[in-house]
Amino acid sequence: MQANEHPAGSLSGITVIEIGTSVAAPFATQILADLGATVIKVERFGTGDDSRSWAPPAWDGLSVTFLSLNRGKHSMVLDYKKPEGAELLWALIRDADVLVQNLRPGALAKVGFTADAIKEANPRLIYVEMTGFGSTGPMADRPAYDPLVQAYGGIVSVTGADGGAPARVPVSVLDMGTGMWVALSVFEALRRRDQTDEGSHVELSLLQTALMWMSPQLLAVQAGNAKPRRLGSGFGGVVPYGAFPAAEDGYIFMSAGNNDTWERLLTALEVPADHEVRSYADNAERVNARDAVNELVSQITRGFTVAEMEHRLREAGVPHSPVNDIPAVLADEQVNAIGQIVPMQHPEIDDYRIVNLPMTFDGQYPLGQPTPPPALGADSRAVLERIGITDERIAALIESGVVGEAVVSVGKE
């Protein structure tokens, strides 16, 4: 093996069908593709995955969201609501190892693809259903988006500045988090299948992911503590902890997780011995006087630039970081040193780059299928050939509107 070659991922030989849209299911199956699986993305006519049209932001006319979530896949356009289309989807299911879907609750079952029918068709299949609120209870049939479940599950209630409006976490933390749980669940289900020769029906929801991420806060309230207040960038058990203003050029994030670090912070910033802030010598005192302490610390940090504070806090061994914006992240020496953002050839984008999985094996990132996100319907013919459909029948299926082929890209001409 050459030094720049990657070994095949452990999911090589595993076939995954994705009937998904937006973020959660596509992110889950992209992880599986990166780890070696063959992922067949079944999309609807005309628009395909919703995220194909989520632009701007765009990259040479292509949705950045779609580009971020769909590398390493094969796109097939299929109307499985038509009898011939349903027959083809059943054929794909019988030939697959994993099926992942995040359609509206009950949508796939409504057209005949129930969990029981799927199990009967392929007892070894791992069928993964993703929902917003779970499969039982009064909210089970409701569709959901990430920010809605962030609000419902309590995340929004603790996000934002105290006294201001609640705020969502401005990344798809529940969609992508649930996608991570899907990937982990698929590995568990595959191990079970190795032992039993039977598949599994796996159910996950954004609400369950929200509850997992909120477990410290949930346990705190169950233990009799007051409900958490919104702390901006702060943390409930430590002060100072969060973003503090610099003289003129931004913010620095710092943490004094114990009293020794607090003393080193004050020394590094040359706080006089008689300064009021030094009266808060113990973390519990600082937590109880959070607002006053944070204001006093902010007055101190405004006397330094970010670079000056970075130097002083680094020398003192105080945990800290500048609050980088996205251009700064892309240009950062450490970010570039770990090599996670890498180029990938794309037929329409000259300088296309991806963010690889956040893990390495023997020093290598596990990109199992280094292919860019597919054009809508780009692989319909190849997928049908895979399950033994003849060229003549493929042509008839396309003519009748059961199967779609690649559309003209909205990118470069």
For residue range 235-291, list pLDDT tens digits in order: 888 999 999 999 987 999 999 999 999 999 999 999 999 999 999 999 999 999 999
| Same domain? 199 vs 281 | no
| Same domain? 324 vs 350 | no
| Same domain? 325 vs 383 | no
| Same domain? 155 vs 302 | no
Split into its structural domains, the chain has a count of 2
Q: Dump pLDDT digits (tens) for 40-53.
A: 999 999 999 999 99
Q: Dump pLDDT digits (tens) for 315-350.
A: 999 999 999 999 999 999 999 999 999 999 999 999
What residues act catalytically? 175
Helix orientation angle between 306-316 and 259-268, rounded to the nearest 10 degrees: 130
Q: Dump pLDDT digits (tens) for 107-143.
A: 999 999 999 999 999 999 999 999 999 999 999 999 8
Model pLDDT, residue 409: 46
CATH label of the domain that carries residue 313: 3.30.1540.10
Cα–Cα dist 68/281, whole Å: 47
Q: Is 380 part of a structural domain of the chain?
A: yes
Q: Is 223 part of a structural domain of the chain?
A: no
Model pLDDT, residue 203: 98
Q: Is 189 part of a structural domain of the chain?
A: yes
Cα–Cα dist 183/189, whole Å: 10
Mean pLDDT of 64-79: 97
pLDDT above 50 (res 411): no
Q: Dump pLDDT digits (tens) for 183-216.
A: 999 999 999 999 999 999 999 999 999 999 999 9
Model pLDDT, residue 410: 44
Residue 319 burial (CB count, 10 A)? 14
Instruction: Please say which residue of 329, 363, 378 terminates a domain.
Output: 329
Q: Is 1 part of a structural domain of the chain?
A: no
| Same domain? 313 vs 390 | no
| Same domain? 62 vs 127 | yes
| Same domain? 379 vs 314 | no
Higher per-residue pLDDT: 368 or 113: 113
First CA to last CA across the chain, in angstroms? Answer: 38
| Same domain? 140 vs 193 | yes
Whether a cis peptide bond, with omega within 30° of 0, leads into 7 is no
Instruction: Please say which residue of 271, 298, 329 terminates a domain.
Output: 329
CATH label of the domain that carries residue 194: 3.40.50.10540
Cα–Cα dist 139/206, whole Å: 12
Instruction: Please say which residue of 307, 329, 351 terminates a domain.
Output: 329
Backbone angles phi, psi at 165, to 5 degrees: -75, 145
Of 58, 65, 22, the C-alpha closest to 410 is: 58
| Same domain? 357 vs 323 | no
Q: Which of 2-6, 17-21, 70-74, 368-372 has the lowest mean pLDDT?
A: 2-6
Mean pLDDT of 205-229: 95
Q: Is 221 part of a structural domain of the chain?
A: no
Cα dihedral: 161, 163, 169, 170 (round 10): -80
Q: Is 305 part of a structural domain of the chain?
A: yes
Q: Is 95 part of a structural domain of the chain?
A: yes
Cα–Cα dist 271/299, whole Å: 11
Q: Is 5 part of a structural domain of the chain?
A: no
pLDDT above 70 (res 228): yes
pLDDT above 70 (res 372): yes
Give residue 109's domain range: 15-213+340-404
| Same domain? 264 vs 365 | no
Cβ-based neighbours of 369, under 8 Å, separated by 6 or more: 9, 33, 34, 36, 37, 38, 71, 72
Model pLDDT, residue 368: 61
| Same domain? 157 vs 106 | yes
| Same domain? 186 vs 273 | no
